[in-house]
Amino acid sequence: DQQVKQNSPSLSVQEGRISILNCDYTNSMFDYFLWYKKYPAEGPTFLISISSIKDKNEDGRFTVFLNKSAKHLSLHIVPSQPGDSAVYFCAASRTSGTYKYIFGTGTRLKVLA
């Protein structure tokens, strides 16, 4: 049972334009969400997070939006840069009880110069 889904395995965007990566989840108990970026031969690197009490969190060029009613979150990168080319994973967790992070399958972003 895939509780966190990233339905787009890949995405190509022109440099300077907006990249939008999407993630859906099924478990309504999740209340903390994260995005990770992964370069080849490296471990995932934490990018940005959002708690369910918010619907938006921004950090520089990266903004995460959360739509709890739709159980959907998205990561916006503006403007996109060639160095943003990587695999992006979303992850979800709940802050009560025994928690663990559930990861999606990832979206490979390619930013074209």
Partner 1 sequence: EAGVAQSPRYKIIEKRQSVAFWCNPISGHATLYWYQQILGQGPKLLIQFQNNGVVDDSQLPKDRFSAERLKGVDSTLKIQPAKLEDSAVYLCASSPTTGANSPLHFGNGTRLTVT
Q: Which residues bind partner 1 (CB under 8 A)?
A: 4, 6, 32, 34, 36, 41-46, 49, 51, 89, 91, 93-95, 98-106
**Cα–Cα distance for residue pair 90/24, rounded to 1 Å:** 9
Minimum distance from residue 6 beta carbon to partner 1 (Å): 8
| Residue with token string 């509780």 | 3
Contacting residues for 85 by C-beta, under 8 A, at least 6 apart:
109, 110, 111
Nearer CB in complex with partner 1: 13/34: 34
Nearer CB in complex with partner 1: 18/58: 58
Q: Which two tokens stand for residue 16?
A: 């300077």
Minimum distance from residue 35 beta carbon to partner 1 (Å): 10
